[in-house]
Amino acid sequence: MARVTGLSVLTAYGHGPDALWAGLSSREPATSPVTRFATERHRAHHAATVPGAPDPYEELERLVGEACDQAELSPADRAGTPLVLALHAGPDTAALAVELAGACGLREVLTVHTAACAASNTAVAEAAHLIGTTAERRAVVAGASFVDASMFAAFDSAGILAPDGVCRPFSAGREGPVLGDGAAAVVLEHTGTAPPWAAVRGWGNAAEAHHVCRPHPDGRGPAAAVTTALRRAGITGDRIGYLNAHATATPAFDAGEAAAIVSALSPHGVRVPVSSTKALHGHCLEASGLVELAVCALAFRHGELPVNANHLAPDEDCPLDLVLEPGRAPQSRYALSLNSGFGGVCTALLLAMP
Distances (CA, A) of 292 to 186, 229, 262, 347: 12, 17, 21, 13
Beta strands per DSSP E along 171-330 = 182-189, 198-207, 240-244, 273-275, 321-322
In whole angstroms, give the CA distance from residue 254 to residue 56: 29
Residues 6 or more apart in contact with residue 284 via CB below 8 angstroms: 11, 145, 180, 181, 182, 278, 291
In whole angstroms, give the CA distance from residue 98 to residue 88: 15
Q: DSSP characters for 243-276?
A: EE----S-HHHHHHHHHHHHHHTTTSTTTSEEE-
In whole angstroms, give the CA distance from residue 242 to residue 276: 11
| Nearest Cα residue to 255 out of 311, 210, 211, 318 | 318
The greatest distance separating any two alpha carbons of the chain, rounded to the nearest whole angstrom, comes to 55
Give the CA radius of gyration of the chain. 18
Which amino acid is present at 96?
L
Element spanning 32, H or E:
strand 32-33
SS3 230: helix
Burial 311-339 (b: 16+ CB within 10 A, else e): beeebeebebbbbeeeebebbeebbbbbb
> Which residues are annotated as catalytic?
117, 246, 283
Residues 6 or more apart in contact with residue 26 via CB below 8 angstroms: none
Element spanning 125, H or E:
helix 119-132
